[in-house]
Structure 1
């Protein structure tokens, strides 16, 4: 995660150790071996602009230096890997923090040399150590993304997707300038081996990866109501990953209304998207980068409803990571480093582990409730972005009177339902309390109508069809109930 001044001071107080190294220099020849060594052991932090006694010397033009160093490191270290280079300020001085995860593809090499961390020291690995690293790698099962894709050849790749990847600004020069053909270029990116394409190449670049990998297909649905299974938009997407990501972002933005925000400074109304596009983009990209592709019953699902946006992907959090650490932006070992690297090269991933922080900041700046992550080893990971809560303080500067958004105009049916709800009631209990025999009429004109106006909510929103499902008043519903109780039940309420 992005370190605070206090956290950096704590790192400086620890002194150099197995996972922490100080350098006064930011030169590639000094930083490269350290990053390589961390990748080959258990990860760690490199602090540039600090002497060996932990005294901060600072870095001049730190932002430019950080960008240059990150680019140089990612070109010089093989196989491809993601890490983070951040500029931080401590005691009015800027330093660079290079945060490195433990690598999944050891041994890593910097300019063809392999380095390891031995206590506080970084050193070149000897022959026996390298042999041991290679042997351990052979014993470990091959990742799904590294397996050969069945029945995929160059003809099955999307020409436009390959062009987009290989012409990206971040593509290494040796890849862009390679003259041995497409397969060779993809092999340099760990997307091919021995002339055969991998599963990572399939889901990233194939025209229709779902033919071979049904779990690669993506489902996007927009529900008209907060309950039941009615939907107003449904798409099943299959194609190169970058194309599907863009289609999903478009789907979400198309199916979420704009909302009005009023400036207290000039009383001007501004129409903004319900969810910040930056948060939507980061959330969708994270689902593709971190999901478990080996689960053939898995996939990715995007669900839009009046109350929330949910993005689900198969596969629980990596070992040692939980909801709290995700919110803090902890770096972890990537489940799919080859796929993540392909997304990084095309500008979809900026910093490893930073997506969750970006999502939270975007939601906070937009005035939305805090997003929530939930991980389950059997059902996968779900990220929920919540629609803005409606309160009397929504537009206080527009008029001193209660606005229609705060006390919505409701039908007599909804008013009756609001009166009938006490605590948590099941659908059948509510219908019987109103002496209604037509279930479909009750669902459409009472239940769904009230939910569409955020007056009631489900007690188990993640399982709309649950037999244990009940309904209760929202804060807005409670407020409205106080008003409708004072009015005749056969009149329209506003």
Structure 2
């Protein structure tokens, strides 16, 4: 039994585990077992009576919270169960804040700490008033673009008669005569005047990160980036141009429009806006997009592959994107990415936490070496598939010569590739038979 997102197994108690208690209290709660091995098997713990007295005292003295402490016995072995409840207020340990994300504990610092403290206070980053900004920092063209899209979507009709200030008030982006951060990110003339890295950086690479061929950077508010980033991808980075008008259109042999559009929107809605810029990397065989900001509470990488609750980091920004018809408010963005790739007969996209953010990767080639390894193919089989991709077909004799194996081994390997739907055998039998993709 492996550790879950909100469970930790420890064989003995150390005061350093107060950090784990703190992390659980600041997230969705959890359980810590003292006296269990990594598989969840009770191995027992010494001084149970003393620990049952000292652990609650240390938690209360250092963290200011109360946890449920129980003993669990199995035969002659006893472990201690610490049940940590989630707290609505921030919990610190010696002035430091810890947080449980996925299966790891992190110390919150800088922008992550600011976002966390805002959230615990019932606010989000995009809901904060920007004291240095005025209504004059809002761009008319961006407002008009939104109104047109919102009326087309039917989610906010009859908005064209509103002034910029009235519209922002209706979108909860203007308060007490002042502009909120979300308004500048969505409609600002120059968001980078107030916040660093409100931009998308696009790089063209060969097969790996060491082979950077050229790059572009696009700055501006969200309504501008949604127009300009797809245009730049089409004009300079993608080998086969695709129409970004019909969002559900599937382009055979290239990346699905819906997937790329959704990847960009997800990155904009969920990113940490005081952090690094969004990065799009276009390789010969894949495209990836990364935004800073960890997954929301209670969600992990597997959760994104099925129906899940929408938990946007920037809810005001997300609400405007919803009203404009850019996104759904049902947490279906990642499902759209996955399903559109499936419809286009592309490999399942990869979505994972990476370097303090979320990385989404689409793969163009179902039979790349990277994808073949995921299928569990042997090195011999991978070499053979790459040979077929280059030469069109392979015979049993060519396989055994390519890999220096017996005819029996070659036949078995090739049959396995057929069973895995990687290759198919020709209709010709006997001496002229061969295998192809």
The TM-score, its normalising length taken from structure 2, stands at 0.52
2:114 is the alignment partner of 1:160: no
Query: Does structure 2 conserve the Cα–Cα contact (< 8 Å) formed by 1:303 and 1:311?
Result: yes
Distance in 2 between the 1:328 and 1:226 partners? Answer: 30
Q: Which residue of 1 aligns with 2:364?
A: 387
Work out which of the residue numbers 235, 243, 263 in structure 1 matches 2:224.
243
Correspondence list, 1:126-165, <5 A: 140=121, 142-165=123-146
Decide which moves more: 212-221 or 194-203. 212-221
1:329 maps to 2:307: yes
Go from structure 1 to structure 2 and tell me whether the alpha carbon gap of 1:250 and 1:405 turns closer, same or farther (over 3 Å shift): farther
TM-superposed CA distance for 1:258, in Å, is 3.4
Residue in 1 that maps onto 2:340: 362
| C-alpha displacement of 1:407 | 1.0
Summarize deviations over 1:9-44 as a string: whole Å, max 9, x none: xxxxxxxxxxxxxxxxxxxxxxxxxxxxxxxxx9xx
In structure 1, what is the equivalent of residue 293 of structure 2?
A: 315
Report what 2:283 is aligned to. Answer: 305
Residue of structure 2 in register with 1:204 after alignment:
186
Residues 190 and 220 in structure 2, CA contact (< 8 A), matched pair in contact too:
yes
Q: Does 1:342 align with 2:320?
A: yes
TM-score normalised according to structure 1 size: 0.46
Tell me the equivalent position of 2:213: 231
Q: Deviations over 1:246-296 (max 9, x none)?
A: 22223334422239xxxxxxxxxx984510111111111111111122xx3
Q: Distance in 1 between matches of 2:335 and 2:343?
A: 12
| Per-residue deviation, 1:389 | 2.5
- Count of residues paired in the alignment: 252
Cα 1:150–1:220 change in 2 (3 A) is farther
Secondary structure of 1:286's counterpart equals helix
Question: Structure 2 vs 1, CA of residues 241 and 140 (structure 1 numbering), >3 Å: closer, same or farther?
Answer: same
CA change 1:162–1:408 in 2 (3 A) is: farther
User: CA separation in 2, counterparts of 1:403 and 1:138?
Assistant: 51
Structure 1 segments unaligned to the other structure (5+ residues): 1-41, 43-103, 105-136, 260-269, 392-401, 410-418, 420-475, 477-494
Does the 8 A contact of 1:257 with 1:273 survive in 2?
Answer: no
Counterpart Cα distance in 1 of 2:365 and 2:119: 51
SS in 2 for 1:235: strand
How far apart are the structure 2 equivalents of 1:271 and 1:350? 22
1:215 aligns with 2:192: no
Match of 2:176 in 1: 194
Structure 1 match to 2:57: none
Q: Give the corresponding residue for 2:389.
A: 406
Q: Distance in 1 between matches of 2:270 and 2:207?
A: 30
CA distance in 2, matches of 1:149, 1:237: 23
Deviations 1:145-202 (A, max 9, x none): 0112243223222211011223421453575554xx3212211111111111111000
Q: Distance in 2 between matches of 1:408 and 1:191?
A: 59
Computed over aligned residues only, the root mean square deviation of the Cα atoms, in angstroms, reads 3.3
**Residues 229, 297 of structure 1: CA spacing in aligned structure 2 closer, same or farther, 3 A cutoff?**
farther
**Which residue of the partner structure matches residue 259 of structure 2?**
279
Q: Contact 1:221–1:235 at 8 Å: present in 2 too?
A: yes
